[in-house]
Amino acid sequence: MLIAFTFAKPLIAMMGGTGEALAYGVSYFRICTVGAFFWIYGLAGNMIIRAEGRMKTAAWMMGTGLVVNAILNYIFMGIFDMGVEGAA
């Protein structure tokens, strides 16, 4: 995580980011890098639930996460006007 956080700008530039897109990309990438820890464990937990044969529970969890994400995106981007940082 520290390496990705430190080298965010060169990584985004290597993928073709320039100017304003580079600034937005670095901001988004750094926030997502911090949140990746929780995202990975959430996916692993969902896979464990699927492996136990509880497919409907796993699907409900994913669906609930989708709805919560959509609501939080609206709140952070629409109401608080946080832009890319709010989307991350």
How high is the pLDDT of residue 2?
82
pTM (whole model) above 0.75: no
Q: How far apart are CA 34 and CA 5, in angstroms?
A: 8
Is pLDDT above 80 for 79? yes
pLDDT tens profile 45-65: 999 999 999 999 999 999 999
How high is the pLDDT of residue 3?
85
Is pLDDT above 90 for 35? no
Token digits of residue 50: 């699927």
Is pLDDT above 90 for 83? no
Q: How far apart are CA 88 and CA 80, in angstroms?
A: 14
Amino acid identity of residue 53, one-letter, is G
Q: How far apart are CA 88 and CA 14, in angstroms?
A: 21
Distance of CA 80 to the CA centre of its chain: 18
Q: How far apart are CA 84 and CA 21, in angstroms?
A: 11
